[in-house]
């Protein structure tokens, strides 16, 4: 298996599914290993590694990645990434 970061579309879909699963709004949950792998790859790709973060910090970061991926403007994306 090739270990490569997800495309933006794959990352967006994984984050959307993860958030839906956490809120209980899905009937087809992802396997936990696939869920964490997709989220970790998306966060690492767009915001850098998250080693040493608390669970709360990782959750905040997940929400940030979702906002960042849904933002179309490159200027807004840069501002969001700099803010975090």
Q: Are 36 and 22 in contact (CB under 8 A)?
A: no
- pLDDT tens by residue, 51-73: 677 777 777 777 777 776 666 66
Instruction: Please report, for the chain, the start and end positions of each structural domain, with discontinuous segments joined by +.
Output: 8-83
31, burial (CB in 10 Å: exposed 0-12, middle 13-18, buried 19+): exposed
Degrees to nearest 5, angle at CA 14 with 21 and 30:
50
Q: Are 15 and 65 in contact (CB under 8 A)?
A: yes
CA 33 to chain centre: 14
In the predicted model, residues of the chain with pLDDT beneath 50 are: 1-2
Claim: this prediction has a pTM higher than 0.85: no
Q: What is the pLDDT of residue 2?
A: 46
């Amino acid at each position: 298996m090739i270990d490569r970061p997800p495309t933006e579309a794959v990352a967006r879909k994984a984050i959307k599914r993860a958030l839906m699963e956490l809120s209980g709004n899905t009937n087809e949950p992802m396997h936990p290993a696939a869920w964490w792998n997709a989220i970790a790859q998306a966060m690492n790709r767009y915001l850098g590694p998250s080693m040493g973060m608390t669970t709360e910090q990782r959750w905040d970061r997940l929400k940030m990645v979702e906002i960042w991926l849904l933002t179309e403007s490159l200027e807004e994306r840069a501002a969001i990434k700099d803010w975090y």
